[in-house]
Amino acid sequence: MKHPALTVLALLLAAGPANAITAQKAERAEGRVVITWTDPDPVDVYVAPTADAPLSAATLVAASRRDGRAEYVAPADARPFFLLRDGGDGKVTRVAERALPLQQGSNFRDLGGYPGADGKSVRWGRIYRSGATAMLTDADLMMIKALGLADMVDLRSSEERALAPSRIAGVRYAAVGYTMTSLTLPGAAAPSGDDRMHAVYRRMPELLAPQLRILFQELLEGDGAVAYNCSAGQDRTGFATAMVLSALGVSRETIIADYHLSTTYRRPEFEMPRIDPATAGANPAAAMFAGYQQDPNYKTPRPLYDSQRRALLDVALSEVESRWGSVDAYLDKALGVSPADVAKLRAMYLE
């Protein structure tokens, strides 16, 4: 069954002029990448090795397709980018796989393609979100090296980073130290159920402000692609993504739909090396992750809703609006991302 967030995103991406390429998508299945789209005109499909390759450097995959579908046999260690040329007006639309096809990665995905401000879309291959990267294979590292990452911002606590150091090397790496108990209240003080997760999400705007200042600084410098992560790539990374996409003018509906894709793309077994509960000792983070790993349903991601079907991310966004008045005000006052910075980000990351 297709995840609801994928359906929502397909509907959101379908919005556009009647005679334009819409609802474009690329998904890998059994060694092939299936590219689909909607357009009344015939479409030429090209493949390129990089996100910004011009049409002249791309290779034709399928010509004058009217059925809205093409296939490409993709090597397991490659991440192709596709250019769809409209046979009516000649306009080129780019698309790629949302998630990188990593062997032992979790939730490592591209923010490209989302509709942003002024009728433009987020550039592919420039901003990546991810779960922890401690268990990547050598082949995974080769694929990530090809992304041209210049910076990584690690949103995890000091304990998590010690338990599962990133395997990605050769890029500038930034993190801000804090303890897991800064995010989750331990022991008897901890609320349960919805109250527990709501408390976690309400803490995020303030707790993550130092990391987000660094993230936006790196984005504004624009030296290369930028990646950021937490352990699951869904909660703290989800909030960071909401701020980045908001700055680029992406709609709240699309932001929430992207947030829920974590339930599809997470692979929890590759987010933290196995921890023996007997050796976790007094380390509360190690004990917490060891407990998760003992759950027989550990490998199945839980949907990011509370018991009332409210997206947990909405709790953090409501906290931002309650304390700062709006996301724009939070960007400006809490993160130092001015309106001029927002304009620069849109010029850099939208096309």
Of the candidates 219, 263, 212, 264, which has an alpha carbon nearest to the alpha carbon of residue 240?
212
Tokens encoding 260: 């829920």
Measured between alpha carbons, how far is residue 172 from residues 13, 128, 272 in Å?
33, 15, 22
What pLDDT does residue 216 have? 98
| pLDDT by position in tens, the chain (length 351) | 556 777 666 666 655 555 689 999 999 988 899 999 999 999 999 999 999 999 999 999 999 999 999 999 998 888 999 999 999 999 999 999 999 999 999 999 999 999 999 999 999 999 999 999 999 999 999 999 999 999 999 999 999 999 999 999 999 999 999 998 888 765 545 566 899 999 999 999 999 999 999 999 999 999 999 999 999 999 999 999 999 999 999 999 999 999 999 999 999 999 999 998 888 877 888 988 999 999 999 999 999 999 999 999 999 999 999 999 999 999 999 999 999 999 999 999 999
Of the candidates 106, 111, 152, which has an alpha carbon nearest to the alpha carbon of residue 130?
106
Of the candidates 171, 170, 167, 198, which has an alpha carbon nearest to the alpha carbon of residue 184?
198
- Residues annotated as catalytic (active site), given as ranges: 230
What pLDDT does residue 278 have? 84
Amino acid at the residue 202:
R
What pLDDT does residue 190 have? 57
Query: Is the CB of residue 74 less than 8 Å from the CB of residue 48?
Result: no
- Which residues partner with 71 through β-bridges? 34
Q: How far apart are CA 230 and CA 320, in angstroms?
A: 20
Of the candidates 141, 109, 337, which has an alpha carbon nearest to the alpha carbon of residue 243?
337
What pLDDT does residue 188 have? 47
Measured between alpha carbons, how far is residue 244 from residues 140, 203, 237 in Å?
25, 18, 10
What pLDDT does residue 183 have? 84
Tokens encoding 320: 């931002």
The continuous run of DSSP H or E covering 84 comes out as: strand 81-86
- Which residues partner with 95 through β-bridges? 82
Q: How far apart are CA 44 and CA 40, in angstroms?
A: 13
Q: How far apart are CA 125 and CA 116, in angstroms?
A: 16
CA atoms in the 13 A half-sphere facing the CB of 158: 7
Domains of the chain: 1-97 (2.60.40.10), 99-349 (3.90.190.10)
Return the DSSP state at 227. Answer: E
